[in-house]
Amino acid sequence: MLDDIRAGLERDPSVKTGFELFFTSPGLHAIWVYRVAHVLWKWKRRIIARILSNYAKFFSGIEIHPGATIGRRLVIDHGVGVVIGETAEIADDVLIYHGVTLGGKSLDPGKRHPTVGSRVILGAGAKLIGNITIGDDCRVGANAVVTKSMPAGTVAVGVNAKLVRNVSEDHYAI
């Protein structure tokens, strides 16, 4: 929990204290509820896990399927409209803005959602669709639609996103 609070303070300039973040961040609350629901999901208590995730969605506007795999220090800034599908995988130190979807495009029961590497920033409204891989240190611009894998260190912008350049050392700018 302390890692999550530190990450939120580091990546959200509008929040001044851990106390403020603890009581006012829907992204933080959604992540914490997800972590409990995910344990229940792994213990095959799937109905309870889904009820818990729906509770979090109702109060935060953020939908994280309890079957998703999420690493450490995920920050969801603002958060309303974020959807993370069942087979999505998110590594460490990822920043997600509002309206982002990690969605599927198949009804097959296997892996059908994106895999997101470490230190990735997903801009507001970005859509990552299908079983694709977003490499470490990538940036996805606001409202970009990504349907193909991205190599590490690239930036994607636009609908049917185009890779435009390698990412600079500034890990928190798109």
Predicted local distance difference test score (pLDDT) of residue 139: 96
CA pair distance 98, 126, nearest whole angstrom: 9
Listed residue (43, 37, 24) closest to 63, CA to CA: 37
Give the bridge partners for 154, in sequence order.
166
Q: Do 150 and 115 touch, CB atoms closer than 8 A?
A: no
Q: Look at residue 119 in the predicted model and tell me its pLDDT.
A: 97
Residue 72 CB-half CA count within 13 A: 4
Question: pLDDT tens-digit profile of 80-95?
Answer: 999 999 999 999 999 9
Which CATH superfamily does the domain covering 2-166 fall into?
Hexapeptide repeat proteins (2.160.10.10)
Q: For residues 62 and 172, what is the distance between their CA atoms, to the nearest angstrom?
A: 22
Q: What percent of the chain has pLDDT over 90?
A: 78
pLDDT for residue 15? 87
Domain boundaries, the chain: 2-166
**41-44, long-range: CB within 8 Å, 24+ apart, which pairs?**
41/66, 41/67
Helices 2-11, 26-42: crossing angle, 10 deg rounding: 140
Write the pLDDT tens digit of every residue in 146-174. 999 999 999 999 887 766 666 655 555 55
Give 49's strand partners. Answer: none
Res 55: pLDDT: 95
